[in-house]
Structure 1
C-alpha cells in the first residue's frame, strides 16, 4: 500500500525583510475572508466578555471563573490533532462553512439559556465547551487556508493582519458588552455573536461553488495522521517552537483568567470596568500591528518574542501594585506585547511546512497553545485560591519574565 510521505522540509525562520502589513489584502479571497472575519471576531469577543463576566457574577469561586478559559481551550487539546487531519483531507471551504454554522448554533443555544434566567455555571461552561469544539476544528483549517492565500513572504504580515482584526474586535466587543451587559443582560450579546457568523457563511458558500475552491487533500486515516505528527515533531526547531508556545500561553492566560476576579474582588468594579480593561488590551494590540513589521525586521523572531514575554510579564506584575488610574495604560502596553507574542509564534508556525502538510502540523502547534492555556487556566485559578488574586498575578509575571529571558537568547 502506498504511503504518503511528508516532504522533508526543514524548519526555516522567515527572512529578515519588511513586508507592508496591508500587502496581503491585495489578494481578493484573503481580503473577503479578512473582512468577514472582522465581524465574526466582534461577535466572538462580545460573547467572550459576556460569558466570563456571567460566570464571575453567578459564582464566588475563583476556580469557576477561571474554568471559562479552560472550557474554551480544552477541546483543542482533545480534538486538535484530529482537526488537523480533517482539515488536510476535506475541502476547506466546505469544512469551514459547516464549522461556522455549528458555532452559530452554539451561540444561539447560549442566548436561549441566558434568556431563561437563573443560569447554572455548569450549563454555561458546557456551551462554552461546545463553542470551543467548533474552534478546535476551525483553527487548523483557517490558518492553513489564509496562509495559502498569500505569498510566502507575506505570511507574517497576514498573521499580523489577522491579529489586527482579532484585536480591533477585542476593543469594541468588550467595551460594547461592558455597557450593554447591565442594560440588556447577556442574552442579546450571545445572540449578536450568533448573527456575526453570517458574513463568514456567505463567503464560504460562494467559495464552495467557485472554481478556485481548495480541493480535497490527503486521505483521512492513520497514515495521514502519523505523517503530520512525524513532520511536526521530527524537527528540533519546531519542537522548540512548541515549547515556547505552550510556556508563553501558560503564563499569559493568567490575565484573561484572573481579570474578572481582579475587577470583582480587588477593584470592586462592575461589568463596565471589566470590559474597559479588556478593551485596553485590544487597543495596545491594534497599535502593535503598525509597529511589528519594523520591529520584526530589526530584531528577528527570537529577540522580539523574548521582549514581548518580558513586557507582558511586567504588566502582570504591575496590575496589583499600580494605582487604579494607571491600569488602562499599563494594560494597553501589555496588549502591544500580547500581539507581538502571538503574531510571532503564529507566523513561525504557519511558515514551517509546505501547504500539503500545513494544517496537520499547525494542529500540533495549536495543541501546544491550547494545552498551555488549559493547564494555565486551571493552575492560575488554584493559585488565586492559595495566594489570592494579586499573589497569582505576581507569580504569573515572574513566570513570563523567566520565559522571556530564555526566548530572547534563542532562535524562533
Structure 2
C-alpha cells in the first residue's frame, strides 16, 4: 500500500518547485509539440461544447435536458474511469492517446453530419456528447500520466499550470467563436471544425508512437492491476481527502456550466452570442490566474488556496442572479474564472505528484472519477433544482453550498508532497 508522506509545514517541500517559471516546461520538445497541438484541439472541443449546449437549449425548453449536456460529457468518466486508468498503465500511452483522439474526431464528425442533415435532436446530441466523453475518459489518465514523464520532476506543477492555461485560452476563444458563428452558419460547421482541430494532435501522437522514446506497455490489464490502483488511491488518507475535496467542490461549481445556457435564455433573455461571451469571460479570467498563482503558492498552503477559490466562485454564483447588465457581468464572471483556475490547477498538481509512475495513471483515474462524480451528479441535480425552483434560485443555492463548504470542509491541509 502506498502511503503519503506527512510534512511539518504544508507546501514547504514543494516551495522550490512552485518557483519554477511557468514557461520552463516548454523547453522539452515533445511537451512543447503536444502542448501546441492540444491548444488547437482544445479550441475545437470548446467550440463543440458551446454548440452542443446551445443547440439543446435553443431547441428544448426543459431545464433538466439542457443541464444533461454537461452530465453526458462527464458521466463516461464514472462508467469507464477506473478501467481507463488500468488501460493507461498497461497500454503504450502514445498509441492509446492516438486511438482515443481519433475516436473523438469521429464523434465530432458524426455530430456535424447529423446537424447538417437537420437530424440533431436533443437525445442524439446527448448520445454523441457521451461518445466524446467516453474517449476523454480514456484520454485523461494517460495524458496526465504522460505529462509528468515529459518534464523534470520539479516542473510537473508548472506543466499542469501550462496545460490549464492552454485549456482556458481555448475555452475563451472557442465559445466566443461559436457565439459569433452559430447564428450565421449553424451548428454543423462548428462540429466539423472540432473534428478538424484534432488532426495536429493525431499527427504528433502518430509520430511519437513510432519513435524510440515512446512510452511502452506497462502493467498487465487484470483485476490485480485494477485492485492495486484502488488500494493505492483509497489506502492513503491524504489522497482520500483530496478526492473528497474535488468531488464536493465540483458538485457546486458545475452549476455555472450546467445552468449558463438557461441563465442566458431565461434570465437575461439573450441569444447565442451572450452565452458564448460569458463562457469566454470565465475562461479569460482563468487565463490570468497562472500569472499570479506561483507567488501565492509560495505564501499559502494548498488547502487555503482551494478554500479561498471556492469561496470566490461561490460568491460569483450567488451574485449572478442579481446582475443583468453586461458591464457588471464581465468582471464578476472573470473573477469567477480566476477562482476556478486556481482551484483546478492546485488540485490537479496535487493529484499528479501523488504516486510513482507505475501506478500513476490508475490513481489519477480515481481522481478523475471524483471530478466526474461531482460534475455528473451536480449537473443533473442543479438541472432538477432549476426545473423546480427556477434558474436564479438554483444558482444562488449552488453558490451558498460552495461558500459553506469553503468555510467548513477545507480546514485540513492538502499535503504538498504525496510521494511513496
TM-score range (shorter-chain normalised) is: over 0.9
CA offsets 1:267-316 (integer angstroms, 9 cap, x no match) = 00000000000000011000001111111111121100001000000100
| From 331, 334, 343, the counterpart of 1:332 | 334
> What is the aligned partner in structure 2 of residue 188 from structure 1?
189
Q: Which residue of 2 aligns with 1:365?
A: 367
Corresponding residue of 2:152: 151
* Alpha carbons of structure 1 residues 218 and 9: separation in structure 2 relative to 1, 3 Å: farther
- How far is the alpha carbon of 1:8 from its aligned partner? 5.1
Write the distance in 1 (CA, Å) between the matches of 2:408 and 2:21: 29
Aligned pairs for 1:5-404 within 5 A: 10=5, 15-17=14-16, 18-324=19-325, 325-404=327-406
Describe the SS at the equivalent of 2:321. Answer: coil
Query: Secondary structure of 1:19's match?
Result: coil
Q: 1:323-342 CA deviation, whole Å, 9 max, x = no partner?
A: 41301110000000000010
Q: Is the 8 A contact 2:254 2:375 kept in 1?
A: yes
Q: Distance in 2 between matches of 1:237 and 1:360?
A: 17
Q: In 2 relative to 1, CA 145–30 (structure 1 residues): closer, same or farther, beyond 3 Å?
A: same
Work out the CA distance in 1 between the residues paired with 2:46 and 2:301: 30
Q: What residue ranges of structure 1 are gaps of 5+ in the alignment?
A: 1-5
Task: Name the count of aligned residue pairs.
Answer: 407
Q: Which runs of 5+ in 2 are unaligned?
A: 415-420
Distance (Å, rounded) in 1 between the aligned partners of 2:123 and 2:322: 33
CA distance in 1, matches of 2:386, 2:6: 39
Displacement of 1:242 in angstroms is 0.2
Distance in 2, matches of 1:262 and 1:118, equals: 26
Q: Root-mean-square deviation (CA), in Å?
A: 1.2
- The CA distance in 2 between the partners of 1:373 and 1:101, in whole Å, is 25
C-alpha displacement of 1:7: 5.5
Quick check: 332-341 or 11-20, which moved more?
11-20
| 1:92–1:214 contact (8 Å) kept in structure 2 | yes
User: Quick check: 2:4–2:236 contact (8 Å CA) kept in 1?
Assistant: no
Cα deviation digits, residues 159-190 of structure 1 (max 9, x gap)? 11001000000110000100000000000000
Matched position secondary structure for 2:413: coil
- State the shift of 1:155 in Å: 1.4
Once the two structures are superposed, what CA deviation does each residue of 1:89-144 show, in whole Å capped at 9, x if it has no partner? 00000000000000000000000010011531001100000000000000000000
Work out the CA distance in 1 between the residues paired with 2:6 and 2:287. 29
1:361 counterpart SS class: helix
Q: Is the 8 A contact 2:4 2:238 kept in 1?
A: no
Determine the C-alpha separation between the residues in 1 that align with 2:238 and 2:231.
Answer: 13
Deviations 1:333-392 (A, max 9, x none): 000000001001100100000011100000000000001000000100011012110000
What displacement does 1:147 show?
Answer: 1.6
How many angstroms apart in 1 are the aligned matches of 2:186 and 2:176?
14
Separation of aligned partners in 2, 1:404 and 1:202 = 43
TM-score, structure 2 length as denominator?
0.95
